[in-house]
Amino acid sequence: MVNVMVKVKYPYHKSEEFLKFYLSGKVPKYPDYVKRIHQWTVADYSVKIYNIYELPEDKLYEGMKGIAKRFFAYAAFEGYKFKIEPLVEGSEAIELFKK
């Protein structure tokens, strides 16, 4: 399994509009094999959301496309930004840096 993080940020004053769209059912669904395992929200001068997903390694590319499709649905909101980041376990990262 592979973990992917999606970081979202949007202006606090857009929260009500954002939530209304989120609850509307108009947002594309994730592929069946994409499982959100964590979601955290931080209210600062803007709203920040951190999502962690788990998906099979052999479906990483297709899964990331499915995740992106869902998050692109919010692109019309002024000030909305998101970033998709595949994650690597710390022990695996150490192996990448060994010479």
Interatomic CA distance for residues 64 and 61, integer angstroms: 5
Superfamily of domain 2-97: ACT domain (3.30.70.260)
Q: Quote the radius of gyration of the chain (alpha carbons, Å).
A: 15
pTM given for the model: 0.84
Interatomic CA distance for residues 16 and 32, integer angstroms: 28
**Taking the domains of the chain in order of start, what are their residue ranges?**
2-97
- pLDDT category, 45, cuts 50, 70, 90? confident
Kindly state the percentage of the chain with pLDDT values over 90.
64
Interatomic CA distance for residues 46 and 43, integer angstroms: 6
